[in-house]
Amino acid sequence: MSSACPICGKPAQDATRPFCSKRCADVDLQRWLSDRYVVPGAQDDEENPPSTDFDN
């Protein structure tokens, strides 16, 4: 069973899995590099930074 390319929807190829081509892999990479994709993380709280005092 072949999965679909996340960029264009064509069947993925073994050499470029999960993409169908190097072009689609490059499109995905460019989206990461241009911050179109981001991994959510905890927001920094500048007013109350985490304690580094371990002598509690």
Q: What is the pLDDT of residue 11?
A: 97
Above pLDDT 70, what percent of the chain? 79
- Is residue 21 over pLDDT 60? yes
- Here the tokens at position 46 are 């500048």
Residue 19 has pLDDT above 90, yes or no: yes
Residue 12 counted as an annotated binding residue: no
Q: Is 5 annotated as a binding residue?
A: yes
Q: Determine contact, residues 5/18, Cβ cutoff 8 Å.
A: yes
Consult the annotation and say whether 20 binds a ligand.
yes
- Enumerate residues 6+ apart whose C-beta is below 8 A from 24: 5, 6, 7, 8, 10, 16
Domain boundaries defined on the chain: 1-36
Q: Is there a binding annotation on residue 24?
A: yes
